[in-house]
Amino acid sequence: MELGQYFLDGNPDAVEFCPHDGFLNILAVSTYTLQEGDQPSRLGSISLFDVNGSSCSLDRIGSVETAGIFDIKWNPVGGGASPLLAQADADGCLRIHGLECSSNGTSLTGALLKESCGIHISSSMCLCLDWNPSAMSLAVGLSDGSVSVASLTESELIEDQQWKDHDFEVWAASFDTHQQSILYTGSDDCKFLGWDLRDGSPMPAFKNSKSHKMGICCIVKNPNDPYSLLTGSYDEHLRVWDVRSISKPVNETSIGLGGGVWRIKYHPVISGLVLAACMHNGFAIVKTTGEIPEVIETYDKHGSLAYGADWRRHSSDEEGKREGNVVATCSFYDRLVRAWIPESDIHA
């Protein structure tokens, strides 16, 4: 079921639904647009949308101009935290925005992002980011092969450490949701690395440089399984890993994907069900719990590079209802954002 579509002025590359109660309808969409010429510039924006499965609507309710953005992430839920949106941008900066919303009592009428703090990480570009599960620190992958970890206090970001162990761009940096001191990184150099951050200087927990045939685009820990982890690669494979035996993947599939696996998002309720952005081959919903991962639905309504994808989190009155399985996706060159509900019978 199609809920709506929107054409942006820039090239969208990430979509992220807010996970915080009271703001579940809020979708953030970031853009990266290269302005070529004698003095090329990398421009960007973050647009906020109200996405409603019941009323089948996708309404833009706010935007802010920024440097060109490669990645955005909302802070994890917990401890009464208010919504914060982090951005990794082409100026080498990590920035944090607070969210302010207004409503008429029945629907959102406006939303505003206000930058609360930021830090210049590097003269290289910030390509990806992830929040530590505690929401007290963030990891950033850089275009020169470096990785940075910064702490967030009430008023500022402070870089704790930066190191370089990749040869090319780091497109994936992801904390382990079950072991907060473990960070995973992946790069265009095909290296899949794990880091233990406990001693103040990162120590390699493991290194795998043989399994991925092309660069690594994304790394995602299974929120419901302390040992299961997924990677996506330009080699068009979605790989399932057991972190206790990282020498080779447990499963890998390219069935129905047919494009570089740029983003992977776990369903907020259904264990083992993921949404994948497959670059030149649209989007796929994949069941990863069986012996062989299985594609159960594909989505091909976009006309260019499939980059951003996310599930909207469920409210209590949506559990088990089809309207709760709302998906947002974006594609780069046609500047398109879409919201839709899968046709498959998806339920916990």
Interatomic CA distance for residues 230 and 220, integer angstroms: 5
Residue 340: Cβ within 10 Å count: 21
Of 16, 54, 48, residue with least CA distance to 321: 54
Within 13 Å of residue 309, how many CA atoms lie on the same side as its CB?
A: 28
Interatomic CA distance for residues 300 and 166, integer angstroms: 34
Question: Do the Cβ atoms of 16 and 51 come closer than 8 Å?
Answer: no
- Identify the pLDDT of residue 75: 96
- Identify the pLDDT of residue 133: 94
Which residues, including other chains, have CB under 8 Å from residue 148's CB and lie 6 or more apart? 94, 121, 122, 139, 140, 142, 159, 161, 162
- Identify the pLDDT of residue 105: 57
- Identify the pLDDT of residue 157: 96
- Is-above-0.85 flag for pTM? yes
- Identify the pLDDT of residue 107: 62
Residue 165: Cβ within 10 Å count: 17
Residues 192, 197, 199, 201, CA torsion sign = positive
- Identify the pLDDT of residue 315: 73
Which residues, including other chains, have CB under 8 Å from residue 32's CB and lie 6 or more apart? 10, 11, 13, 42, 44, 68, 69, 70, 90
Match 């629907």 to its residue by tokens. 107
Give the total residue count for the chain: 348
Show the domains of the chain with their CATH numbers. Answer: 2-340 (2.130.10.10)
Backbone angles phi, psi at 323, to 5 degrees: -65, -15
**Tens digit of pLDDT at every position of the chain (348 positions):** 899 999 999 999 999 999 999 899 999 999 999 988 887 899 999 999 999 878 888 999 999 999 999 999 999 998 778 999 999 999 999 999 999 887 665 566 678 899 999 999 999 999 999 999 999 999 999 999 999 999 998 879 999 999 999 999 999 999 999 999 999 999 999 999 999 998 777 888 899 999 999 999 999 999 999 999 999 999 999 999 999 888 888 888 766 688 999 999 999 999 899 999 999 999 999 999 888 888 999 999 999 999 999 999 987 666 556 667 999 999 999 999 999 999 987 765
